[in-house]
Structure 1
Amino acid sequence: MILPLQYVKGVGPKRAEALANEGVVTARDVLLRVPRAYIDRSAAPSIAVLYNRLRSPDLWKGDALSITAVSTDVSLVATVTSAPERTVGRARKMFTATVSDGSGASAQLIFWNAINYFSRIIKVGDTVAISGIPEYDPRWNQLTFTHPEVERVDEEDIERYRQGAILAKYPMTQALRNAGITMRLMRHIVEHVIDDAIADERDVLPPDIIQRHDLMERRAALRELHLPTSIKSIDRARARLKFEELFFFQLFLAARSRSRKRPDRGLSLDPRSPRARALVEQLPFELTTAQRRVIHEIIHDMSSGAPMNRLLQGDVGSGKTIVAMLCMLNAIDNGYQAVLMAPTEILAEQHFRTISKWLEGTGVVVDQLVGGQRSKARKEVASRIAAGESHIIVGTHALFEAEVQYHKLGLIVIDEQHRFGVAQRAELKRLGRLSHEDDPRNPHILVMSATPIPRTLSMTLYGDLDVSVIDELPKDRTPIRTRVVFESGLTQVYDFIRDEIAKGRQAYIVYPLVEKSEKLELKSAVEHHEFLASSVFPDLRIGLLHGQMLWYEKEDAMKAFLNKEFDVLVSTTVIEVGVDVPNATVMLIENAERFGLSQLHQLRGRVGRSGHQSYCFLATKDHFRFQMSRANSAEERAKAAVRLKTMEETTDGFRIAEVDLKLRGPGDLMGTRQSGVPEFMFADLVTDGPVITQARAEAFALLEHDPTLRAPEHQALRERLVDDATSSGFLTVA
């Protein structure tokens, strides 16, 4: 019999309440609150080893892969040798503690918050377990941990540690600490309830899958995580639970994918399209092999009778627009409308002009619907759409507003899909379904992304979508040459820009800010537009574009640059997704260390849109070559160096995306709120690509064999899938 947690020795009502506030109410809650780390004497690094590892590497020698990853959480055991409280600046207090481990070096623990708490629990002579990110402070030649997790280790645990025992470290919040719950007490609670709690656990993974992947039994895995016998066994236990977690998520995606592909809900289109064939024959260039392959994949989906849900990935300039247009012509030749939704009015305008130009004289009516249109013009367009007179409608969010009624909408193309929310996509799909009055059918959906998505993230985030990849650039595209330059060398870059303009070319100069900031030592577009126009290029025509301008001012500036009325366009990142200017061959990005990899890659993609050789210069401060003065800059400096070196080394968007994923993690990379990236307890989307692939293959194969999981041996599997999907929010993932 399992007693309530408050009756476990050392807990009591108040501590039980604190645990309940953290979601730990039952013995099973204790079982599933697995350790976040372990203290293992054989694996813990010494302070001396960490000190030597982190001392000032030269980040600019070698390639991006050789740059040391600084952000690594470590755990070690050491003794407190001093613990003074200090006052810094205007009466701001900090608490520091110096620790040593007998390796001949020491480290400093720094606390700015909860000073009273830490000064109470950290005393000179105490043995403490420390977990955190170590940094090297060059000012004091000191290894530091800022706000690490610190646990005082009692005599019993010290003895166990010395004898080689592995100590589990559980997630601890300040509220738990304030209630007097220590790491030792957490271990005691686990030891008290684990036998009875594990007895109630069922292993719902099919036995053949467990055997095929040599997985540990679930009960054994949970026991090993809490009461480890070796690091190797911990790894096997985590591997089992990692696979299980990914398997159920992929099973959910497989079920949703099958549901979407029910033949009675989609449109069956004839794959033959006279208009598409005629356009291909008239194009002034040849489609690449990759473009032909993905067109075949898309048309095959559209002719299947099941609603298409396909993601089209392609690097900047790979030719996604022509692929989308040929597929839209297929829908039109079958008697349906097609919609192309873009994230900005500038991009919608570009698509509208490009498509109108290509389809001139074909009888295809192309209309534009954007928020900035006058009321009369919008009503006229809406009227043509409702009557079925419009064939292709290009627009922004205005496409799914209430007054728009489509007439047999067959294909929805969403450009730069990550910029649209789940609700916006769903509303456009709903309007498409309603446009088939007599027999409501789901339109086909093609979402396009010029932001390459790493394969591991794609299998998770878009696991229920079919994915097509254009992995080949047009033959006339010359790779962009990229160089990191320092501020002391900007004069030569300006001379280079002048030489390119003398050849009839144009250039972008991008700044991180619109206006000068007192808080940030970064360059601004407005300030430097004036400086460049008056002091650097007084004889050239310098334009300005930034996000605080009105939409029509931005459009006018972009059109003027496209029409060669400006030689240089000074801008912020508003051009990241923008109009193609084939004549622009130089991109200079100031304060490049402040931009993310994906953003740098997108900005670079604004040049190189023609057969002319193009160039990208990534400018950063001179002192960035050397050690920066702030102690906490080591990690950001290393990451910035990786970003800039990666940009120098490759123009491959997928390789860049993989590096970005490693630097930022999946949530930051995609924007967690919009992306629907699930929060896994065990799986790591950065490093677990092979496991994701295996779990996905097993999940999809299982549903192929038993689509509704009604087989008796899959009953428990079905129940677990429904529970997981409901409780974890999988059902709301985009």
Structure 2
Amino acid sequence: MKSLADPVAALKGVGPKSAVALNKLGINTVGDLLLEYPFRYDDFAVRKLSEISDQEKVTLKGTVASEAVLTRFGRKKSRLNFRLLVDHDVIMVTFFNQPYLAQKVETGKEMAVYGKWDAKRQRLAGMKILFNEGANDLAGVYRSSKDIKQTTVKKLVKQAYDGYKDVLTDIIPEETRCKFRLLPRKVMIHDMHFPEDQRTANAARRSAIFDEFFCFQVKMQFVRKVKHKEQGIKIVYDNSQLKLFISSLPFELTDAQKKVVNEICSDMHRDIHMNRLLQGDVGSGKTVVAAIALYAAVTAGFQAALMAPTEILAQQHAEKLDHLFSKFNVNVALLTGSTASRTKTRRELLRHLNDGQIDIVVGTHALIQDDVAFKKLGLVITDEQHRFGVNQRQKFKDKGITPDVLAMTATPIPRTLAITLYGEMDVSTINELPKGRLPIETVWLREKQLNEAITFLKKQLSLGAQAYVISPLIEESEMMDLKNAEEIFAKLKKQLEPAYHVGLLHGRMKGSEKNEIMTDFKNKKFDILVSTTVIEVGVDVSNATMMLILDADRFGLAQLHQLRGRVGRGKKQSYCFLIADPKNEYGVARMKVMAETNDGFVIAQKDLELRGQGDILGNKQSGVPDFRVGDPVTDLRILQAAQQEASEIINDSEFTRKSSNKGLINYLRYELDKGISFD
């Protein structure tokens, strides 16, 4: 019996090599192949010369007015020329490296040629001769590779549709299809691959975008529903102790912090599994919120763990928590790669973790190693969670018996992406900065104005402040004319020492070296720290009020915002100077956005608009879905409609009993076959 789950090797002509080539394109099954839609269409409809524009790809039809002239040059290179009478005009047609077409060109024969029109030379750069023009004016163009040709992909798509069209069933319920005027799935897939005209292709594409978003969202909503039913740990924390801890803080929580603390504590207190994301802008106070959640777990008799992406950040978290819990009976430990190198220390730490003497452990990915065991783990927190792969986060979670999960990120996600990325999570957002924080003044200067920035830097240093100078490279590169950290370090030492001390930090240093330099900078042994982006995440030196970013146009918006967030962490006015000579409008736009706003959510939305969703987080494992036809930015309204509809259908108490949901339930069984009950 045929099934869309059949491997592509089930199709005629797909041998082992072709199967591997298709697999590399993400096409493993017949179903995958049918959803491998064209990324564009070539329009082979015959056009008139009077209608076309310069450099436009068109099909022209006429009579061959001269013999074909074939010229060979170089190794396997050739040029084929002939004249074509189109209406009353004679144009030159040229084909490169297709010498076999010469025998197809006959004087007086009518012919249609597809190619790129050069209006100035009245010449058509031929791409193909159409021998059955008009049979299908629109032809899909598919992804291909050096291992599998596009023509092969097209033939396989046709074979797959012809052979499997009868097993194509609707996933989207009929009521929803009628509501949004969507095509039945079989029609949609046919018209995406073999449209009669542009209008047909557009209608199919609209349905395909909704279908893609809807299928993704129903999975997210269903997983979320299942997780909410999962039996979790009921963390009955000591509310009076928690209030006492909060009142001991040297500052009052912002309204946004209070709101998210209530959301997190409410989740922890229930006997369902917490799966919550805490997102907040740089410096918004997420660590304090995490500390409250950690302490809540400890007062209930549980252990808690916090995993950070770098040793510097893990050490900083451990020191901060140690300080916050100094008046409370909480044992905080640090486990990183450096700890692992000290066998005796590590063995002792693991023993205390296993017997419950350690209440809170902070660490890097060293926390997920096999020999790390807890006595009673109740809460796991991942900081900058998008920097950890899906498998790493799962392994961390598996250290306990369904511990509550809190993921934190300082990379603000616009609602556009939050819908797609975190559909299965509850999201808490800190959208205000702590009281007394002054917005960072950001100035964009051209390269020739660098001395102005240096003068301002010296003034800040004379007032007792510290500064960061950021370079995109560690050492000089012959390929790219960028400022490099070692050269800048040498120049600033020459310019400013002995009056001011300069330090250097970069990613090639050992963890112990980085920690020592950051500690020295924090203790004011250095006035200036020349660094690469290794200081991008989490580094907290409240006396640093000045940042100078060289070749700023080489950084992404999100990265610039993270870097800028290393200053402005105290109560003094802070400054960020962007030195850049952007080469295009995109670069200019990014510099202007940085100078105009400090709001990370505004910056993230602008970044999304400028770059698109594919690269916003940089890491494939972050969970960003790879949509084939839909774009969460340009198709936001369809995305929101699909998300709303998916949520209503999945959360309907009659979901499994409605016959109209049969196709959707079958789809979920196939996609989420992990022993999930649909009862």
Q: TM-score range by the shorter chain?
A: 0.7 to 0.9
CA distance in 2, matches of 1:446, 1:267: 14
Task: Specify whether residues 411 and 258 from structure 1 end up closer, same or farther in structure 2 by C-alpha distance, changes over 3 A only.
Answer: same
Q: Which amino acid aligns with 1:655?
A: V
Task: Verify: 1:250 aligned to 2:236, yes or no.
Answer: no
Instruction: Give the C-alpha shift of residue 534 in structure 1.
Output: 0.8
Q: Match of 1:37?
A: 40
Q: Which residue number in structure 1 is paired with residue 142 of structure 2?
A: 171
The residue aligned with 1:62 is: none
Q: Distance in 2 between matches of 1:94 and 1:650?
A: 56
Whether the 8 Å contact between 1:385 and 1:407 is mirrored in structure 2 is: yes
Conserved? CA contact 2:225–2:651, under 8 Å = no
2:175 corresponds to which residue?
Answer: 208
| Partner Cα separation in structure 2 for residue 96 and residue 685 of structure 1 | 45
2:114 is matched with: 128
Matching residue within 338, 361, 364 for 1:393: 361
Structure 2 counterpart of 1:387, one-letter code: D
Where does 1:326-345 land on structure 2 (aligned, <5 Å)?
326-345=292-311
Other-structure match for 1:222: 189
User: Secondary structure in 2 aligned to 1:275?
Assistant: helix
1:706 to 1:116, Cα distance in 2 relative to 1, 3 A: farther
Q: Residue 297 and residue 14 in structure 1: after superposition, are their counterparts in 2 closer, same or farther (change >3 A)? A: closer
Cα distance change on mapping 1:447 and 1:30 into 2, 3 Å: closer
**Residue from 368, 377, 380 that aligns with 1:412:** 380
Conservation of the 8 A alpha-carbon contact between 2:567 and 2:575: yes
Aligned equivalents of 1:384, 1:127: Cα separation in 2: 78
Contact 2:80–2:96 under 8 Å retained in 1: no
Aligned AA (2:168): E
Counterpart for residue 347 of structure 1: 313
Moved more, 545-554 or 652-661: 652-661
Alignment partner, residue 651 of structure 1: 598
The equivalent of 1:139 in structure 2 is none
1:77 aligns with 2:75: no
SS at match of 2:400: helix
Contact between 2:22 and 2:148, CA under 8 Å: does it hold in 1?
Answer: no
1:554 aligns with 2:521: no
The more displaced of 377-386 and 329-338 is 377-386
**Aligned counterpart for 1:709 among listed residues 634, 643, 656:** 656
Which residue of the partner structure matches residue 362 of structure 1?
Answer: 328
> For 1:35, what is the secondary structure of its paired residue?
coil
CA deviations over 1:325-363 (Å, ceiling 9, x no partner): 111111111111111111111111111111111111211
**What is residue 384 of structure 1 aligned with on the other side?**
352
SS at match of 1:372: helix
The whole-number CA distance in structure 1 between the counterparts of 2:632 and 2:525 is: 47
Q: Give yes or no for contact 1:585–1:615 (8 Å, CA) kept in 2.
A: yes
Residue pair 2:174, 2:660 contacting (<8 A) in 1 also: no
- What SS does the aligned partner of 1:493 have? helix
Q: Do the aligned partners of 2:70 and 2:78 also contact (CA within 8 Å) in 1? A: no
The reply on whether 1:313 has 2:313 as its aligned counterpart is no
Name the CA distance, whole Å, in 2 between partners of 1:304 and 1:521.
57
User: Deviations 1:383-411 (Å, cap 9, x if unpaired)?
Assistant: 32222222221111222223322121111
Secondary structure, in 3 states, of the residue corresponding to 2:443? strand
**Matching of residue 494 in structure 1 with residue 454 in structure 2:** yes
- Please state whether the residue corresponding to 1:618 is helix, strand or coil: strand
Partners in 2 of 1:413 and 1:270 — Cα distance? 18
Q: In 1, distance between residues paired with 2:389 and 2:161?
A: 43
Are the counterparts in 2 of residues 15 and 179 from structure 1 also a CA contact under 8 Å? Answer: no
What displacement does 1:712 show? 4.1
Q: Could you say what secondary structure the match of 2:337 adopts?
A: coil
Distance 1:317 1:554 in 2: 22
* Structure 1 residue identity aligned to 2:556: G
* C-alpha distance after superposition, 1:227-256 (max 9, x if no partner): 545544433322222222222222222222
1-side partners of 2:358 and 2:30: how far apart? 63
Correspondences of 1:186-585 after superposition (within 5 Å)? 198=165, 200-228=167-195, 231-264=198-231, 266-270=232-236, 272-373=238-339, 374-433=342-401, 442-535=402-495, 539-585=499-545
Contact kept in structure 2, 1:40 and 1:167, CA below 8 Å = yes
Residue identity in the other structure for 2:302: Y
The whole-number CA distance in structure 1 between the counterparts of 2:574 and 2:79 is 53
Rounded to whole Å, the distance in 1 between the matches of 2:12 and 2:252 is 75
Mapped contact 1:665–1:686 kept (Cα < 8 A): yes
Stretch of structure 1 that moved more, 232-241 or 411-420: 232-241
Change beyond 3 A, Cα 1:172–1:405: closer
Deviation larger for 77-86 or 334-343? 77-86
User: What letter matches 2:173 in structure 1?
Assistant: P
Number of residue pairs aligned between Structure 1 and Structure 2: 636
Query: 5+ residue gaps in structure 2?
Result: 3-10, 62-67, 87-94, 106-110
The Cα shift of 1:550 comes to 1.5
**Given that residues 238 and 682 in structure 1 are in contact (C-alpha distance below 8 angstroms), is that contact kept between their aligned partners in structure 2?**
yes
Is the CA contact 2:387–2:619 (under 8 Å) kept in the aligned structure 1? no
Instruction: Return the alpha-carbon distance in structure 2 between the equivalents of residues 425 and 84 of structure 1.
Output: 62
CA distance in structure 1 between the aligned counterparts of 2:455 and 2:80, rounded to whole angstroms = 51
Instruction: Say if 1:415 and 1:448, in contact at 8 Å, map to a contact too.
Output: yes
CA shift, 1:116, in A, is 7.7
CA contact 1:18–1:175 (8 Å) conserved in 2:
no
Equivalences for residues 639-718 of structure 1 within 5 A = 639-705=586-652, 709=656, 711-718=658-665
Once superposed, which parts of structure 1, at least 4 consecutive aligned residues long, lie more than 6 Å away?
A: 12-21, 23-30, 41-44, 46-51, 78-87, 91-97, 118-126, 174-183, 192-196
Give me the whole-angstrom Cα distance separating, in 2, the residues matched to 1:291 and 1:82: 77
Distance 2:76 2:532 in 1: 37
Structure 1 residues 624-674: Cα deviation after superposition (integer angstroms, max 9, x where no partner): 46xxxxxxxxxxx34323322221222221222223334444343234532
Deviates more, 1:707-716 or 1:234-243: 707-716
The match for 1:138 is none
Q: Secondary structure of 1:569's partner?
A: strand
Alpha-carbon shift at residue 27 of structure 1 (Å): 9.6
- Aligned partner of 1:593 in structure 2 is 553
Counterpart of 1:154? 130
CA distance in 2, matches of 1:289, 1:225: 50
Contact 1:598 1:660 in 2 (8 A): yes
Query: Per the alignment, do residues 151 and 167 of structure 1 end up closer, same or farther by CA in structure 2, a change over 3 Å counting?
Result: farther
The alpha carbon displacement at 1:414 in A equals 0.8
Aligned mates of 1:413, 1:501 — CA distance in 2 = 38
Post-superposition shift, 1:130? 5.7
Deviation at residue 173 of structure 1 after TM alignment: 3.5
Q: Partner amino acid for 1:168? A: A
Q: Give the letter for the 1:169 counterpart.
A: G
Cα gap change, 1:512 to 1:172, in 2 (>3 Å): closer
SS at match of 1:547: coil
Please state whether the residue corresponding to 1:431 is helix, strand or coil.
Answer: coil
1:651 partner letter: N
Q: Deviations over 1:11-49 (max 9, x none)?
A: x987999987658999988865533323459999x9999
Verify the 8 A CA contact 1:78 1:129 in the aligned structure 2. Answer: yes
The one-letter code sitting in structure 2 at the alignment partner of 1:691 is I
Closer, same or farther: CA 393–120 of 1 in aligned 2, 3 Å: farther
Q: Distance in 2 between matches of 1:82 and 1:454?
A: 59
Compute the RMSD of aligned alpha carbons: 4.4
